[in-house]
Amino acid sequence: MAALKDLIGLYWERMDAWYHGDAVTQAPVEIAGRVDQAASFARAYPALAAEWDRERNQRIQPYEFAATSTTPVWWRDGTGESWRESIRDRVLRAALG
């Protein structure tokens, strides 16, 4: 999109340090409207986040979403099988066993 042409993106996990003003913080400061990191999918469901197919989901990370997100993403299990499913549906399927 033309509106994004001169913008840059930052990957939270690739930063050496985070600052809020002059103070070093442990993580980015929450921005209104973004997922609260304490309630992120990755924090709430670390075992499922480990199934995140990082190769196929290169531009997105599990900490960017809530567990209720209907965004379809790629998953990969321990056998190497890969499939596409929404985050919410993956959470629900895991809960049902």
Phi and psi at 74, nearest 5°, equal -95, 140
The span from the first CA to the last CA of the chain, in angstroms, equals: 41
- Give the pLDDT band (50/70/90) at residue 93: very high
22, part of any domain: no
pLDDT at 36 over 80: no
Q: For 48-86, what is each residue's pLDDT tens digit?
A: 999 999 999 988 889 889 899 999 999 999 999 999 999
- Within-domain flag for 50: yes
Which residues form the domain of 75? 34-97
Distance CA 8, CA 20 (A): 19
pTM of the model: 0.65
Q: What are phi and psi of 24, to 5 degrees?
A: -75, 135
Tell me the C-alpha distance between 56 and 58, whole Å. Answer: 6
Phi, then psi, of 66 in degrees rounded to 5: -85, 160
Please determine, for residue 96, whether its predicted confidence score (pLDDT) is greater than 90.
Answer: yes
Domain count, the chain: 1
Token pair 């913008």 in the structure block, residue:
7
